[in-house]
Structure 1
Amino acid sequence: MIRLVAVDMDGTFLSSTKDYNRERFAKIYKEMKERDIKFVVASGNQYYQLKSFFPEIAEEISFVAENGALVISEEEEMFCGRMSDDLVQDVIAFIKEHPEVFMILCGRKSAYTSEKEPEELIALGRSYYHRLEVVEEITNSIEDVFFKVATNVPVDETTHFLEFFNERFSGRLEAVSSGHGDIDLIIPGLHKANGLRILQEKWGVRSDEMVAFGDGGNDLEMLRHVKYSYAMENGSKESKEAASHIAPNNDEEGVLEILEQLLEIK
């Protein structure tokens, strides 16, 4: 019996136009709600951006945001990770040595980037971070609780920077890729699967009662954690190896199609 459904957003639940079939999903969600099946949005994106996709139901669903660093369920904060001040300072100093790397410092109250960054990257950042403050310079003197550093690197150097970051911050941070040159530096262990475990404890849900959908490197732990895991047809090789099933392309509304099959909705 399925009791929880977790979905990644970009490249998975959302189409290439950054939207989803709201009418079709509304019917699925109505059926899920009647059966008391929990719906969880599990993404590397900011909580404030994620909830904007679900204005009618945001207060009754759950969010594993920032790749698991922030868990909010039915508007109640269940978990918030924290990087030490020394670690934040080290990361900022290190990235500043590499001007080709775009950086967003992610905090509980807001995300932050520097006015010195390229305007087109700042504009792109705003599409993922609805709360994004552009400051004169990124420093650890900004008053907030920081739990993630989001970076964007040249696409053809993604693998290099993944290895580079993981070697430099071994044991302190973990670099995960969500594609298109985007690399998040997260606190080790604070991934999407950990966020799901927190929600499982709240509801008493077992991993063999869960379905998850993903497409990228930041979905691997989540896909391995649940019994019914689906990598998108458009997903990475690693996500397909981690999942037990393949779902149709995100532009073919693959998540909604599989959910209709699982819930036997015609």
Structure 2
Amino acid sequence: MTVKMIVTDMDGTFLNDHHSYNHNLFAYAFALMRARGIKFVLASGSSYPRLRRDFFEFKDHLGFISQNGSVTHVGNRLIDYIPLTPHDLNSLLFVLHRTSLTDFIDQLVVSGVHGSYVDASMSDDDFNRMKIYYEKITRVPSLLNVFQTFPDEIFTKITICFSHSLNLDDIHAKLDNHLPANLLMENSGYNCELIGNALATKRNAIQTLQNIYGIKDPNEIVTFGDNENDLGMLSMTRNSFAMANAADHIKFQAAHTTAVSNNDDGVLATIMNILDMKLPLQVAQ
């Protein structure tokens, strides 16, 4: 197998259920990948500041696809972004009100290239929970006026976390036929929907990095994912892996399934197998 780039989702995939990973094993595997010229890319629904925080010591040598493909970085360099407009936000809020979903919203986050924004009324507990995924968050008096409050921000994604009294089928039944055609809704787990420009997908962002890295064949890319927002990148290469902990319909879309789950270093174990290397005992724990 010729591998030139490895792309992994974060939560539920590379990270364990405590939002952490085996730093020693990753440092070892990452050194091996760099020595072989393999690019390593993080592809997440969460924000670039969060990804930089979690991989700070490696940040200059990684690719970052954040907000489900709305923003793409190589190291510190902003490569691409796909913006939302004030009209997009207003259209979405109108649809939520029209479908009576506003009563079931637990958290609403509007994100941009530089940071993320929440209503000032958000509780401290919810605010601290959102910082896990977004890191750089600002409370604002009104999200309705966020475009005017931060005129220099480039807004890219809206995250809506719904009450668990609703399931995904309920949410999709209400929203699927009402969203404007230029917007795409993807589930990122935890009953949260990420809504952005329809072109802003992980798969499209990977293709942008392919061009930058000079990778013509998508089958020279390995992808890992566990959720709906990973399906595009899982279907783009024959070297795709659904996590052992993923739902069956996600596994069906991938070419392979990892031997072990996200809580057992499933991505790193698979990478070591791809590199034809055994797990060194001193970093395997």
> When the two structures are superposed, what TM-score results if normalisation uses the length of structure 2?
0.89
Tell me the alpha carbon deviations over residues 7-65 of structure 1, each in whole angstroms, 9 at most, x when there is no partner. Answer: 10000000111110111111111110000000000000100001111111101111011
Q: Equivalent of 2:104, from 85, 94, 100?
A: 100
Which residue number in structure 2 is paired with residue 263 of structure 1? 275
Match of 1:184 in 2: 194
The percentage of aligned residue pairs carrying the same residue is 24
**1:201-220 correspondence runs (5 A):** 201-205=211-215, 206-220=217-231
1:120-199 → structure 2 map (5 Å cutoff)? 120-139=125-144, 140-143=147-150, 144-155=153-164, 156-199=166-209
Q: Residue 12 of structure 2 aligns to a residue in which SS?
A: helix
Q: CA deviation at 1:94?
A: 4.0
8 Å Cα contact 1:6-1:39 kept in structure 2: yes
Whether 2:278 is the aligned partner of 1:253: answer no
What one-letter code is carried by the residue in structure 2 that aligns with 1:99?
D
Residues 162-190 of structure 1 deviation map (CA, whole Å, 9 limit, x = unaligned): 33232221412111112221111121121
**TM superposition shift of 1:117:** 3.2
- Tell me how large the CA RMSD over aligned residues is: 1.5
Distance 1:153 1:17 in 2: 21
- TM norm structure 1: 0.95
Structure 1: which 5+ runs fail to align?
Answer: none
SS at match of 2:167: helix
Letter aligned with residue 122 of structure 1? F
1:92-148 deviation per Cα after TM superposition (whole angstroms, max 9, x unaligned): 344466132121011112111112234432221111111111111112423221111
Paired residue secondary structure (1:13):
coil
Number of corresponding residues: 266
**Match of 1:179, SS?**
coil
- Corresponding residue for 1:242? 253
Q: Which moved more, 1:93-102 or 1:201-210?
A: 93-102
Stretches of structure 2 lacking an aligned partner (at least 5 in a row): 279-285
Query: Is contact 1:166-1:173 (8 Å) kept?
Result: no
| Alpha-carbon distance in structure 1 between the residues aligned to 2:228 and 2:5 | 22
Aligned residue in 2 for 1:223: 234
